[in-house]
Amino acid sequence: MEKEYAVNQVIKDFSQKPETFKDAFTDIIRKGARQLLESAFKFEVDTFIADINFQHDSVMAIRNGFKPERPVMTGIGPITIKQPRVRLRSGEIAPFTSKILPPYLRKTKSIEELIPCLYLKGISSDQFQEALASLTGVEASGLSATTVTRLKSSWEEDMTSWRQQSLEGKRYVYIWADGIHFNIRLTEDERMCILVVIGATADGHKELLAIESGYRESEISWKNLLMSLRDRKLTIDPELAIADGALGFWKALPQVFPKTKGQRCWVHKTANVLEKLPKSRQAEAKSHLHEIYNNETKEDAEKAFDRFIETWSPTYIKAANCLAKDKEHLLNFYNFPKEHWCHIRTTNPIESTFAYVRLRTYKTKGLGSAKATEVMVFKLVQSAEKTWNKLRGYERLAEVIDIRWKFVNGIRTEAQAA
């Protein structure tokens, strides 16, 4: 009864005066963090003094109290910092600067990164105060959400620096390419298109390779993007490129990476075929399309493919032709390890990432400028990149790039035998 009464009393106190309710565990963490910082400052100062005294072979510097306290906003709320001060025998203040606590620091890096992260994830500006207060404590409610504007200016610099990073010595076995379109509020031009390329390294990690704004998904735009990879010294052609049916990409690819094979995205192709059918027949056609690429062998897939054309072409010739024209590129995945089929039959690695972008665009009701759009997509894809998993069966990538081996129906065979 006593325990139940105590719990009920706490709940009652919190509901009546939530602003006075203290998280004891968080307070302990803050006190521990402050003590840890003070110990680190003491070590820094003692080392600084010892170096000066050693150089002069006498006591030239001593500790002299503390500098004025100042609060620093951290991921666990504000912590009041008290930094030691050093004085020389001459009476002057020693030029001591802490590497742990730089001058004028008011927010830790975690908070600096938290603000744009909230923005990119869809938190609108007027919700920042509440979100920050919930994450870091009520004392953080004074942290201005307008800090986003200042921090966003650094994102463009990050993107420029990233685009200049060398790819020399890198090898990407698979690449996925796709574009996403945006409405730009501050321009009357046609819808903006952002072109994105993601690559899978030889050890199975997926990485953002390129991101550029383009005119629709034209051949020139895609060629410029692929040439930028060459300029960054990506000299080894990927083994396979996966993309939708955008003609611009497929015309540009052999001009830059002539040895790279192509795989059309089955999700996009399925949607394109179904668009040319009445809704009453789409479920049946979709089932037939799934039957094609879910076969265990390329031979059986080709039979199902031809059967679809034969079945649907008499009545729906446009739908049949839409599928037939890309037969070779739709079945290329059979020439790669079976473990990788789930990754290379579609452009899902990019499509799932674009969901971040669409969320943020929806929240802002369109983006203000072309440059702001490009930078935002860059930061969003970088954020999503941290969550990307390695390819299933990544250990087989070494076999894909080894000229001694070929894959037939997903099974490794000797190249000569193939």
- Distance between CA atoms of 217 and 248, rounded to whole angstroms? 6
DSSP state letters, 175-229: EEEEEEEE-BTT--SSPEEEEEEEEEETTS-EEEEEEEEESTT-HHHHHHHHHHH
More confident residue, 310 or 417: 310
Q: Is the pLDDT of residue 63 over 60?
A: yes
Residue pLDDT, tens place only, 350-379: 887 777 666 665 555 545 567 777 887 888
| Residues whose CB falls within 8 Å of the CB of residue 176, separated by 6 or more in sequence, listed in order | 197, 198, 199, 241, 242, 243, 347, 349, 350
The 10 Å Cβ neighbour count of residue 156 is 15
Burial classification of residue 15, based on how many CB atoms lie within 10 Å of its CB (0-12 exposed, 13-18 middle, 19 or more buried): exposed
Residue 186: what pLDDT? 45
Inter-residue contact 53 to 60 (CB < 8 Å) = yes
Average the pLDDT over each of 132-136, 148-152, 284-288, 305-309 and give the range with the smallest value: 132-136
pLDDT of residue 105: 47
In Å, what is the CA distance from 77 to each residue of 9, 100, 142?
26, 18, 12
pTM of the complete model: 0.69
Average per-residue pLDDT for the chain: 78
Is pLDDT above 50 for 408? yes
| Nearest residue to 233 via CA among 169, 286, 297 | 169
Question: Across residues 221-227, what is the average pLDDT?
Answer: 94
- The pLDDT tens digits of the residues spanning 112-137 come to 455 555 555 555 555 655 655 555 54
Confidence of residue 218 (pLDDT cuts 50, 70, 90): confident
pLDDT band at 85 (very low <50, low <70, confident <90, very high): confident
Distance CA 291, CA 144 (A): 55
Residue with tokens 């034209």: 218
Q: Taking residues 301-318, what's their average pLDDT?
A: 96
Mean pLDDT lowest among 92-101, 281-290, 366-375? 92-101
Distance CA 123, CA 4 (A): 39
Compute CA 14 distance to the chain's CA centroid, rounded to the nearest angstrom: 39
Residue 243 has pLDDT above 90, yes or no: yes
- Between helix 317-324 and helix 298-312 the angle, nearest 10°, is 160
> Which residue has tokens 């923005």?
119
* Tens-place pLDDT, residues 15-57: 444 444 455 545 655 565 566 666 776 777 788 788 777 777 7
